[in-house]
Chain A
Amino acid sequence: MKNIFTRNRHRTERIGFAAITLMAIATVLPIVATVIYIIVKGAPAVSFEFLTDFPREGMRAGGILPAIIGTIYLTVGTAIFSVPLGIAAAIYLSEYAADSPLTRTIRIAIINLAGIPSVVYGLFGLGLFVLFLNFGTSILAASLTLSIMTLPVIISTAEESLRAVPQAFRTVSISLGATRWQTIRRIVLKEALPGILTGVILGLERAAGETAPILFTGAAFFLPRLPQSPFDATMALPYHLFVISTQVPEMPIQIQYGTALVLLVFVLTMNLIATVIRSRARAKRQW
Protein backbone atom coordinates (compact mmCIF):
# COMPACT_ATOMS: atom_id res chain seq x y z
CA MET A 1 0.00 0.00 0.00
CA LYS A 2 2.65 2.42 1.07
CA ASN A 3 4.62 1.90 -2.11
CA ILE A 4 1.68 2.72 -4.30
CA PHE A 5 1.19 6.01 -2.51
CA THR A 6 4.80 7.00 -2.88
CA ARG A 7 4.81 6.07 -6.51
CA ASN A 8 1.70 8.17 -7.09
CA ARG A 9 3.24 11.07 -5.34
CA HIS A 10 6.33 10.79 -7.45
CA ARG A 11 4.22 10.66 -10.56
CA THR A 12 2.21 13.71 -9.54
CA GLU A 13 5.38 15.59 -8.87
CA ARG A 14 6.86 14.59 -12.21
CA ILE A 15 3.75 15.65 -14.08
CA GLY A 16 3.64 18.93 -12.22
CA PHE A 17 7.29 19.56 -12.87
CA ALA A 18 6.89 18.78 -16.56
CA ALA A 19 3.93 21.12 -16.81
CA ILE A 20 5.87 23.97 -15.25
CA THR A 21 8.84 23.32 -17.51
CA LEU A 22 6.55 23.37 -20.54
CA MET A 23 5.07 26.67 -19.49
CA ALA A 24 8.52 28.13 -19.04
CA ILE A 25 9.43 27.02 -22.54
CA ALA A 26 6.13 28.37 -23.83
CA THR A 27 7.05 31.87 -22.66
CA VAL A 28 10.22 31.76 -24.73
CA LEU A 29 8.55 30.43 -27.87
CA PRO A 30 6.83 33.60 -29.10
CA ILE A 31 9.99 35.67 -28.94
CA VAL A 32 12.10 32.96 -30.56
CA ALA A 33 9.49 32.38 -33.24
CA THR A 34 9.17 36.11 -33.95
CA VAL A 35 12.91 36.61 -34.22
CA ILE A 36 13.42 33.58 -36.47
CA TYR A 37 10.48 34.55 -38.68
CA ILE A 38 11.71 38.11 -39.10
CA ILE A 39 15.26 36.98 -39.79
CA VAL A 40 14.18 34.45 -42.40
CA LYS A 41 11.85 36.87 -44.14
CA GLY A 42 13.97 39.98 -43.75
CA ALA A 43 17.56 38.83 -44.13
CA PRO A 44 17.45 38.61 -47.94
CA ALA A 45 16.52 42.31 -48.12
CA VAL A 46 19.31 43.49 -45.86
CA SER A 47 22.42 44.47 -47.75
CA PHE A 48 25.04 47.18 -47.56
CA GLU A 49 23.00 49.22 -49.99
CA PHE A 50 19.83 48.72 -47.93
CA LEU A 51 21.55 50.16 -44.86
CA THR A 52 23.29 53.06 -46.60
CA ASP A 53 20.91 54.20 -49.32
CA PHE A 54 17.92 56.49 -49.42
CA PRO A 55 14.53 55.02 -50.30
CA ARG A 56 13.78 55.22 -53.99
CA GLU A 57 10.76 54.78 -56.26
CA GLY A 58 8.21 55.85 -53.63
CA MET A 59 10.06 53.81 -51.00
CA ARG A 60 9.47 50.63 -52.98
CA ALA A 61 13.21 50.26 -53.61
CA GLY A 62 16.50 51.51 -52.25
CA GLY A 63 17.48 51.59 -48.57
CA ILE A 64 16.39 52.89 -45.22
CA LEU A 65 19.37 55.05 -44.23
CA PRO A 66 17.35 58.12 -43.19
CA ALA A 67 15.18 56.00 -40.93
CA ILE A 68 18.22 54.42 -39.26
CA ILE A 69 19.94 57.76 -38.78
CA GLY A 70 16.67 59.28 -37.56
CA THR A 71 16.20 56.59 -34.93
CA ILE A 72 19.77 57.10 -33.75
CA TYR A 73 19.15 60.87 -33.50
CA LEU A 74 15.94 60.32 -31.57
CA THR A 75 17.55 57.83 -29.20
CA VAL A 76 20.47 60.13 -28.50
CA GLY A 77 18.13 63.10 -28.15
CA THR A 78 16.00 61.17 -25.70
CA ALA A 79 19.09 60.19 -23.73
CA ILE A 80 20.27 63.80 -23.50
CA PHE A 81 17.07 64.86 -21.76
CA SER A 82 15.93 61.79 -19.88
CA VAL A 83 19.19 60.42 -18.48
CA PRO A 84 20.36 63.43 -16.42
CA LEU A 85 16.83 64.27 -15.34
CA GLY A 86 15.97 60.67 -14.49
CA ILE A 87 19.13 60.02 -12.51
CA ALA A 88 18.83 63.33 -10.68
CA ALA A 89 15.25 62.50 -9.74
CA ALA A 90 16.29 59.04 -8.57
CA ILE A 91 19.09 60.50 -6.44
CA TYR A 92 16.65 62.94 -4.90
CA LEU A 93 14.11 60.23 -4.11
CA SER A 94 16.61 57.72 -2.81
CA GLU A 95 19.17 59.88 -1.04
CA TYR A 96 17.63 63.17 -0.03
CA ALA A 97 13.87 63.06 0.15
CA ALA A 98 12.30 62.17 3.46
CA ASP A 99 9.10 60.17 3.38
CA SER A 100 6.54 62.95 3.06
CA PRO A 101 3.27 63.60 1.24
CA LEU A 102 5.31 65.37 -1.45
CA THR A 103 7.60 62.42 -2.17
CA ARG A 104 4.69 59.99 -2.02
CA THR A 105 2.90 62.11 -4.60
CA ILE A 106 6.01 62.14 -6.79
CA ARG A 107 6.28 58.37 -6.56
CA ILE A 108 2.63 57.84 -7.44
CA ALA A 109 3.02 60.22 -10.35
CA ILE A 110 6.01 58.28 -11.64
CA ILE A 111 4.20 54.96 -11.38
CA ASN A 112 1.20 56.40 -13.21
CA LEU A 113 3.43 57.96 -15.84
CA ALA A 114 4.65 54.45 -16.65
CA GLY A 115 1.08 53.29 -17.23
CA ILE A 116 0.03 55.97 -19.71
CA PRO A 117 -0.54 54.67 -23.25
CA SER A 118 2.18 55.84 -25.60
CA VAL A 119 -0.24 57.54 -27.97
CA VAL A 120 -1.30 59.82 -25.14
CA TYR A 121 2.32 60.90 -24.76
CA GLY A 122 2.25 61.64 -28.46
CA LEU A 123 -0.76 63.91 -28.09
CA PHE A 124 0.75 65.58 -25.05
CA GLY A 125 3.98 66.18 -26.94
CA LEU A 126 2.02 67.63 -29.84
CA GLY A 127 0.24 70.04 -27.52
CA LEU A 128 3.20 71.09 -25.43
CA PHE A 129 6.33 70.86 -27.54
CA VAL A 130 5.12 71.10 -31.13
CA LEU A 131 2.41 73.72 -30.71
CA PHE A 132 2.70 75.57 -27.40
CA LEU A 133 6.49 75.78 -27.31
CA ASN A 134 6.52 76.08 -31.09
CA PHE A 135 9.28 73.54 -31.71
CA GLY A 136 7.30 72.28 -34.69
CA THR A 137 7.34 68.69 -35.85
CA SER A 138 10.95 68.12 -35.04
CA ILE A 139 13.61 65.85 -33.60
CA LEU A 140 13.62 68.13 -30.55
CA ALA A 141 9.91 67.78 -29.90
CA ALA A 142 9.97 64.04 -30.54
CA SER A 143 13.00 63.52 -28.29
CA LEU A 144 11.36 65.47 -25.48
CA THR A 145 8.16 63.46 -25.87
CA LEU A 146 10.09 60.19 -25.82
CA SER A 147 12.03 61.46 -22.81
CA ILE A 148 8.87 61.91 -20.78
CA MET A 149 7.83 58.40 -21.70
CA THR A 150 11.25 57.01 -20.78
CA LEU A 151 11.64 58.86 -17.49
CA PRO A 152 9.61 56.51 -15.29
CA VAL A 153 11.68 53.52 -16.38
CA ILE A 154 14.94 55.33 -15.74
CA ILE A 155 13.84 56.84 -12.43
CA SER A 156 12.47 53.64 -10.96
CA THR A 157 15.38 51.40 -11.98
CA ALA A 158 17.92 54.01 -10.92
CA GLU A 159 16.21 54.52 -7.58
CA GLU A 160 16.13 50.78 -7.02
CA SER A 161 19.85 50.49 -7.80
CA LEU A 162 20.68 53.34 -5.46
CA ARG A 163 18.64 51.84 -2.65
CA ALA A 164 20.38 48.50 -3.13
CA VAL A 165 23.68 50.08 -2.08
CA PRO A 166 24.14 49.14 1.59
CA GLN A 167 23.24 51.90 4.05
CA ALA A 168 26.42 51.10 6.00
CA PHE A 169 28.57 52.53 3.16
CA ARG A 170 26.82 55.86 3.59
CA THR A 171 27.17 55.88 7.37
CA VAL A 172 30.86 55.00 7.17
CA SER A 173 31.53 57.61 4.52
CA ILE A 174 29.76 60.31 6.54
CA SER A 175 31.67 59.27 9.66
CA LEU A 176 34.91 59.84 7.73
CA GLY A 177 34.01 63.45 7.17
CA ALA A 178 32.31 63.17 3.79
CA THR A 179 29.33 65.31 2.92
CA ARG A 180 26.20 63.64 1.62
CA TRP A 181 26.99 64.64 -1.93
CA GLN A 182 30.60 63.39 -1.70
CA THR A 183 29.24 60.10 -0.38
CA ILE A 184 26.79 59.83 -3.26
CA ARG A 185 29.30 60.78 -5.91
CA ARG A 186 32.25 58.71 -4.74
CA ILE A 187 30.59 55.63 -3.29
CA VAL A 188 26.87 55.28 -3.91
CA LEU A 189 26.70 56.28 -7.58
CA LYS A 190 29.76 54.24 -8.39
CA GLU A 191 28.19 51.13 -6.91
CA ALA A 192 24.78 51.77 -8.42
CA LEU A 193 26.10 52.67 -11.87
CA PRO A 194 25.70 49.27 -13.58
CA GLY A 195 22.10 49.04 -12.40
CA ILE A 196 21.42 52.60 -13.48
CA LEU A 197 22.96 51.99 -16.91
CA THR A 198 20.84 48.90 -17.37
CA GLY A 199 17.71 50.91 -16.65
CA VAL A 200 18.82 53.70 -18.95
CA ILE A 201 19.43 51.34 -21.84
CA LEU A 202 16.16 49.48 -21.33
CA GLY A 203 14.31 52.80 -21.24
CA LEU A 204 16.03 54.10 -24.37
CA GLU A 205 15.44 50.81 -26.12
CA ARG A 206 11.74 51.23 -25.58
CA ALA A 207 11.95 54.80 -26.86
CA ALA A 208 13.81 53.67 -29.97
CA GLY A 209 11.06 51.21 -30.86
CA GLU A 210 8.03 53.41 -30.21
CA THR A 211 5.87 54.83 -32.98
CA ALA A 212 2.96 56.58 -31.34
CA PRO A 213 4.89 59.25 -29.38
CA ILE A 214 6.74 60.43 -32.48
CA LEU A 215 3.77 60.16 -34.80
CA PHE A 216 2.59 63.73 -34.20
CA THR A 217 5.78 65.20 -32.84
CA GLY A 218 8.70 64.49 -35.15
CA ALA A 219 8.27 61.63 -37.58
CA ALA A 220 8.16 62.28 -41.30
CA PHE A 221 6.53 60.10 -43.91
CA PHE A 222 9.39 60.61 -46.33
CA LEU A 223 12.31 63.03 -46.50
CA PRO A 224 14.66 63.33 -49.43
CA ARG A 225 17.57 64.31 -47.21
CA LEU A 226 18.87 63.75 -43.70
CA PRO A 227 17.73 66.17 -40.98
CA GLN A 228 20.05 69.15 -40.67
CA SER A 229 19.10 70.46 -37.23
CA PRO A 230 17.14 69.44 -34.13
CA PHE A 231 14.27 71.51 -35.48
CA ASP A 232 13.91 69.32 -38.57
CA ALA A 233 11.51 66.43 -38.72
CA THR A 234 13.04 63.03 -39.27
CA MET A 235 12.27 59.59 -40.56
CA ALA A 236 12.50 56.83 -37.97
CA LEU A 237 12.55 53.06 -38.15
CA PRO A 238 9.33 52.23 -36.30
CA TYR A 239 7.29 54.86 -38.11
CA HIS A 240 8.87 53.97 -41.43
CA LEU A 241 7.91 50.36 -40.82
CA PHE A 242 4.35 51.46 -40.11
CA VAL A 243 4.27 53.57 -43.24
CA ILE A 244 5.62 50.98 -45.64
CA SER A 245 3.45 48.28 -44.11
CA THR A 246 0.14 50.13 -44.30
CA GLN A 247 0.39 53.33 -46.32
CA VAL A 248 2.25 52.39 -49.48
CA PRO A 249 0.46 50.21 -52.03
CA GLU A 250 2.37 47.47 -53.87
CA MET A 251 5.18 47.54 -51.33
CA PRO A 252 7.70 44.71 -51.80
CA ILE A 253 7.26 42.54 -48.74
CA GLN A 254 10.96 41.84 -48.19
CA ILE A 255 11.63 45.55 -47.63
CA GLN A 256 9.06 45.53 -44.85
CA TYR A 257 10.66 42.55 -43.20
CA GLY A 258 14.13 43.90 -43.82
CA THR A 259 13.17 47.12 -42.02
CA ALA A 260 11.63 45.13 -39.18
CA LEU A 261 14.82 43.11 -38.91
CA VAL A 262 17.00 46.23 -38.70
CA LEU A 263 14.76 47.69 -35.98
CA LEU A 264 14.80 44.40 -34.10
CA VAL A 265 18.58 44.14 -34.26
CA PHE A 266 18.89 47.75 -33.12
CA VAL A 267 16.71 47.13 -30.08
CA LEU A 268 18.05 43.68 -29.23
CA THR A 269 21.62 44.96 -29.40
CA MET A 270 20.78 47.57 -26.78
CA ASN A 271 19.15 44.86 -24.71
CA LEU A 272 22.22 42.68 -25.03
CA ILE A 273 24.50 45.52 -23.90
CA ALA A 274 22.28 46.03 -20.85
CA THR A 275 22.40 42.32 -20.04
CA VAL A 276 26.18 42.21 -20.34
CA ILE A 277 26.61 45.24 -18.08
CA ARG A 278 24.28 43.73 -15.52
CA SER A 279 25.86 40.29 -15.42
CA ARG A 280 29.37 41.72 -15.30
CA ALA A 281 28.43 43.95 -12.38
CA ARG A 282 26.81 41.03 -10.57
CA ALA A 283 29.95 38.97 -10.93
CA LYS A 284 32.02 41.83 -9.58
CA ARG A 285 29.69 42.88 -6.78
CA GLN A 286 31.20 42.52 -3.36
CA TRP A 287 28.24 42.89 -1.06
Chain B
Amino acid sequence: MNKIVIENLSLQYSDGTESLRDISLDIPEKAISVLFGPAGGGKSTLLRCLNRLNDLTEVKASSGQVLIDGVDILDPGTDVITLRRKVGMVFARPVVLPLSIRGNLTYGLELAGEKHRSKLDEAVERSLKLAALWDEVKDRLGDPAIALSGGQQQRLCLARSLALQPEIILLDEPTSGLDPISTGKVEAALQELKKEYTIILVPHSVQQAGRTADYAAFFLQGELIEYGEGKSLFTAPKEKRTEDYITGRFG
Protein backbone atom coordinates (compact mmCIF):
# COMPACT_ATOMS: atom_id res chain seq x y z
CA MET B 1 0.00 0.00 0.00
CA ASN B 2 1.51 3.33 -1.02
CA LYS B 3 1.36 5.99 1.66
CA ILE B 4 2.89 8.71 -0.44
CA VAL B 5 2.64 9.15 -4.17
CA ILE B 6 4.88 11.76 -5.73
CA GLU B 7 4.00 12.71 -9.28
CA ASN B 8 6.23 14.77 -11.58
CA LEU B 9 7.51 16.92 -8.75
CA SER B 10 9.84 19.73 -9.80
CA LEU B 11 11.15 22.50 -7.60
CA GLN B 12 13.70 25.27 -7.76
CA TYR B 13 14.89 27.49 -4.93
CA SER B 14 15.17 31.20 -5.59
CA ASP B 15 18.88 31.25 -4.79
CA GLY B 16 19.49 28.64 -7.48
CA THR B 17 20.72 25.91 -5.12
CA GLU B 18 19.42 22.37 -4.93
CA SER B 19 16.45 21.57 -7.08
CA LEU B 20 14.23 18.66 -8.02
CA ARG B 21 13.56 17.63 -11.59
CA ASP B 22 10.43 15.72 -12.46
CA ILE B 23 10.46 13.24 -9.59
CA SER B 24 7.89 10.46 -9.54
CA LEU B 25 8.07 8.07 -6.64
CA ASP B 26 5.70 5.81 -4.68
CA ILE B 27 6.55 5.38 -1.03
CA PRO B 28 5.01 2.35 0.68
CA GLU B 29 3.65 2.51 4.21
CA LYS B 30 5.19 0.81 7.23
CA ALA B 31 8.63 0.46 5.71
CA ILE B 32 11.89 2.36 5.62
CA SER B 33 12.44 4.13 2.34
CA VAL B 34 15.90 5.51 1.92
CA LEU B 35 16.79 8.50 -0.26
CA PHE B 36 20.51 8.47 -0.95
CA GLY B 37 23.08 10.00 -3.23
CA PRO B 38 25.77 12.67 -3.20
CA ALA B 39 25.21 16.03 -1.52
CA GLY B 40 23.10 18.50 -3.46
CA GLY B 41 21.06 15.75 -5.08
CA GLY B 42 17.70 16.98 -3.81
CA LYS B 43 17.11 14.50 -0.98
CA SER B 44 16.58 17.09 1.74
CA THR B 45 14.54 19.23 -0.61
CA LEU B 46 12.24 16.31 -1.26
CA LEU B 47 11.88 15.62 2.46
CA ARG B 48 11.02 19.25 3.07
CA CYS B 49 8.30 19.07 0.44
CA LEU B 50 6.60 16.29 2.34
CA ASN B 51 5.89 18.44 5.42
CA ARG B 52 5.84 21.73 3.50
CA LEU B 53 8.85 23.01 5.41
CA ASN B 54 9.92 24.49 2.10
CA ASP B 55 7.30 27.12 2.79
CA LEU B 56 9.93 28.76 4.99
CA THR B 57 12.37 29.00 2.10
CA GLU B 58 12.02 31.09 -1.01
CA VAL B 59 10.97 28.78 -3.79
CA LYS B 60 11.13 30.07 -7.33
CA ALA B 61 9.02 27.48 -9.07
CA SER B 62 7.43 24.20 -8.23
CA SER B 63 5.11 21.87 -10.07
CA GLY B 64 3.74 18.38 -9.71
CA GLN B 65 1.84 16.65 -6.97
CA VAL B 66 2.56 15.00 -3.65
CA LEU B 67 -0.32 12.80 -2.55
CA ILE B 68 -0.43 11.59 1.02
CA ASP B 69 -3.31 9.18 1.53
CA GLY B 70 -4.58 10.40 -1.82
CA VAL B 71 -4.66 14.09 -0.93
CA ASP B 72 -2.39 16.60 -2.69
CA ILE B 73 -0.54 18.31 0.14
CA LEU B 74 1.05 20.89 -2.16
CA ASP B 75 -2.39 22.35 -2.74
CA PRO B 76 -2.40 25.92 -1.37
CA GLY B 77 -5.50 25.10 0.65
CA THR B 78 -3.71 22.40 2.65
CA ASP B 79 -3.75 22.88 6.41
CA VAL B 80 0.02 22.77 6.93
CA ILE B 81 -0.26 22.64 10.73
CA THR B 82 -2.25 19.41 10.59
CA LEU B 83 0.07 18.12 7.89
CA ARG B 84 3.14 18.72 10.04
CA ARG B 85 1.56 16.89 12.95
CA LYS B 86 0.98 13.96 10.64
CA VAL B 87 4.45 14.12 9.07
CA GLY B 88 7.14 14.35 11.73
CA MET B 89 10.72 15.34 11.03
CA VAL B 90 14.13 14.74 12.58
CA PHE B 91 17.00 16.94 11.46
CA ALA B 92 20.66 16.25 10.87
CA ARG B 93 21.85 18.13 13.91
CA PRO B 94 19.91 17.32 17.04
CA VAL B 95 18.16 20.56 17.90
CA VAL B 96 16.50 20.33 21.28
CA LEU B 97 14.27 23.26 22.14
CA PRO B 98 15.42 25.33 25.13
CA LEU B 99 12.97 23.51 27.41
CA SER B 100 13.10 20.55 29.76
CA ILE B 101 13.23 16.99 28.43
CA ARG B 102 9.52 16.71 29.13
CA GLY B 103 8.89 20.17 27.70
CA ASN B 104 10.41 19.13 24.39
CA LEU B 105 8.11 16.13 24.20
CA THR B 106 4.90 17.92 25.15
CA TYR B 107 5.59 21.03 23.07
CA GLY B 108 3.80 19.88 19.94
CA LEU B 109 0.91 18.31 21.83
CA GLU B 110 0.32 21.41 23.92
CA LEU B 111 0.24 23.49 20.74
CA ALA B 112 -2.29 21.04 19.40
CA GLY B 113 -4.44 21.86 22.42
CA GLU B 114 -3.78 18.83 24.63
CA LYS B 115 -4.14 19.93 28.25
CA HIS B 116 -4.70 16.75 30.24
CA ARG B 117 -1.64 15.94 32.26
CA SER B 118 -2.30 12.22 32.17
CA LYS B 119 -2.46 12.23 28.35
CA LEU B 120 0.75 14.24 28.16
CA ASP B 121 2.52 11.93 30.64
CA GLU B 122 1.37 8.97 28.63
CA ALA B 123 2.71 10.50 25.41
CA VAL B 124 6.04 11.29 27.06
CA GLU B 125 6.52 7.73 28.24
CA ARG B 126 5.31 6.11 25.04
CA SER B 127 7.46 8.23 22.75
CA LEU B 128 10.57 7.90 24.90
CA LYS B 129 10.17 4.13 24.93
CA LEU B 130 9.74 4.05 21.16
CA ALA B 131 12.92 6.07 20.75
CA ALA B 132 14.77 3.78 23.19
CA LEU B 133 15.49 6.63 25.56
CA TRP B 134 13.04 5.99 28.42
CA ASP B 135 15.39 4.08 30.72
CA GLU B 136 18.08 6.72 30.41
CA VAL B 137 15.94 9.77 31.23
CA LYS B 138 12.84 8.59 33.10
CA ASP B 139 14.15 9.91 36.44
CA ARG B 140 15.07 13.36 35.20
CA LEU B 141 12.35 14.46 32.82
CA GLY B 142 12.44 17.95 34.32
CA ASP B 143 16.11 18.51 33.49
CA PRO B 144 17.06 20.84 30.65
CA ALA B 145 17.17 18.83 27.44
CA ILE B 146 20.47 20.40 26.51
CA ALA B 147 22.14 18.47 29.33
CA LEU B 148 21.72 15.22 27.39
CA SER B 149 24.52 13.77 25.25
CA GLY B 150 24.40 14.23 21.48
CA GLY B 151 23.09 10.74 20.91
CA GLN B 152 20.45 11.13 23.59
CA GLN B 153 19.45 14.51 22.16
CA GLN B 154 18.92 12.99 18.75
CA ARG B 155 16.76 10.23 20.19
CA LEU B 156 14.87 12.92 22.11
CA CYS B 157 14.25 14.68 18.79
CA LEU B 158 12.95 11.41 17.39
CA ALA B 159 10.75 10.94 20.45
CA ARG B 160 9.54 14.52 20.09
CA SER B 161 8.21 13.80 16.61
CA LEU B 162 6.71 10.52 17.80
CA ALA B 163 4.88 12.23 20.67
CA LEU B 164 2.57 13.78 18.11
CA GLN B 165 1.67 10.30 16.83
CA PRO B 166 2.52 11.07 13.24
CA GLU B 167 1.96 8.60 10.45
CA ILE B 168 5.11 9.47 8.56
CA ILE B 169 8.57 10.22 9.93
CA LEU B 170 11.15 12.08 7.88
CA LEU B 171 14.75 11.73 8.98
CA ASP B 172 17.39 13.93 7.39
CA GLU B 173 20.78 12.35 8.14
CA PRO B 174 19.75 11.81 11.74
CA THR B 175 22.98 10.10 12.74
CA SER B 176 25.50 12.27 10.93
CA GLY B 177 26.86 13.73 14.16
CA LEU B 178 26.61 10.62 16.29
CA ASP B 179 29.09 7.98 17.40
CA PRO B 180 28.61 4.38 16.18
CA ILE B 181 26.90 3.22 19.37
CA SER B 182 24.34 6.02 19.31
CA THR B 183 23.89 5.46 15.58
CA GLY B 184 23.19 1.80 16.30
CA LYS B 185 20.56 2.74 18.86
CA VAL B 186 18.81 5.08 16.44
CA GLU B 187 18.85 2.50 13.67
CA ALA B 188 17.51 -0.16 16.00
CA ALA B 189 14.73 2.18 17.05
CA LEU B 190 13.86 2.75 13.39
CA GLN B 191 13.59 -1.00 12.78
CA GLU B 192 10.99 -1.15 15.54
CA LEU B 193 9.19 1.97 14.38
CA LYS B 194 8.69 0.79 10.82
CA LYS B 195 6.11 -1.71 12.05
CA GLU B 196 3.79 1.21 12.75
CA TYR B 197 5.13 4.16 10.81
CA THR B 198 6.11 5.09 7.29
CA ILE B 199 9.73 6.12 7.50
CA ILE B 200 11.71 8.11 4.98
CA LEU B 201 15.40 8.31 5.77
CA VAL B 202 18.19 10.27 4.19
CA PRO B 203 21.16 8.24 5.43
CA HIS B 204 24.54 9.74 6.11
CA SER B 205 26.41 7.00 4.28
CA VAL B 206 25.89 4.35 1.63
CA GLN B 207 26.56 1.76 4.31
CA GLN B 208 23.70 3.06 6.41
CA ALA B 209 21.50 3.11 3.34
CA GLY B 210 22.33 -0.55 2.73
CA ARG B 211 21.73 -1.51 6.38
CA THR B 212 18.37 0.15 6.77
CA ALA B 213 16.64 0.31 3.41
CA ASP B 214 13.52 -1.66 2.63
CA TYR B 215 13.23 0.57 -0.40
CA ALA B 216 15.92 2.80 -1.79
CA ALA B 217 15.96 5.73 -4.19
CA PHE B 218 19.19 7.03 -5.68
CA PHE B 219 19.26 10.78 -6.33
CA LEU B 220 21.80 12.61 -8.44
CA GLN B 221 21.68 16.33 -9.13
CA GLY B 222 17.99 16.66 -8.59
CA GLU B 223 17.01 13.60 -10.54
CA LEU B 224 15.77 10.24 -9.39
CA ILE B 225 18.11 7.78 -11.06
CA GLU B 226 16.85 4.51 -9.72
CA TYR B 227 14.28 3.29 -7.25
CA GLY B 228 13.50 -0.17 -6.01
CA GLU B 229 13.62 -2.63 -3.15
CA GLY B 230 16.69 -2.11 -1.02
CA LYS B 231 18.05 -5.60 -1.37
CA SER B 232 18.03 -5.72 -5.13
CA LEU B 233 19.12 -2.13 -5.59
CA PHE B 234 22.21 -2.52 -3.44
CA THR B 235 23.18 -5.95 -4.76
CA ALA B 236 22.24 -5.57 -8.41
CA PRO B 237 21.65 -1.96 -9.42
CA LYS B 238 20.22 -1.53 -12.88
CA GLU B 239 21.82 1.83 -13.58
CA LYS B 240 25.55 2.21 -14.07
CA ARG B 241 25.57 5.51 -12.14
CA THR B 242 23.94 3.85 -9.15
CA GLU B 243 26.48 1.08 -9.24
CA ASP B 244 29.36 3.53 -9.51
CA TYR B 245 28.11 5.43 -6.48
CA ILE B 246 27.44 2.37 -4.36
CA THR B 247 30.83 0.91 -5.12
CA GLY B 248 32.47 4.19 -4.24
CA ARG B 249 33.60 5.29 -7.68
CA PHE B 250 32.31 8.80 -7.03
CA GLY B 251 30.49 10.81 -4.40
Name A residues whose Cβ lies closer than 8 Å to a Cβ of B: 166, 168-179, 182, 186-187, 190-191, 286-287
Contact = CB atoms under 8 A, between A and B. Distances in A.
A186 B85 CA distance: 18
A169 B98 contact: yes
Given A168-B91, A171-B53, A171-B91, A176 B84 contact: yes
Chain B contact residues: over half helix, strand or loop, or mixed? helix
A174 B97 contact: no
Contact of B107 (A173, A179, A190, A287): A173
A187 B97 contact: yes
Contacts of B53: 171, 174-175
A286 B146 contact: yes
Contact of B161 (A176, A182, A191): A176
B112 interface: yes
Interface residues of B, number: 24
A186 B97 CA distance: 10
A176 B111 contact: yes
A168 B107 contact: no
B112 A172 contact: no
B108 interface: yes
Given A182-B111, A286-B144, A172 B95 contact: yes
A151 B111 CA distance: 33
Nearest to B111: A178
Contacts of A169: 95, 97-98
Contacts of A187: 97-98
Contacts of A177: 81-82, 84-85, 108, 111-112, 164
A240 B85 CA distance: 61
Interface string B52-86: 01001000000000000000000000000110110
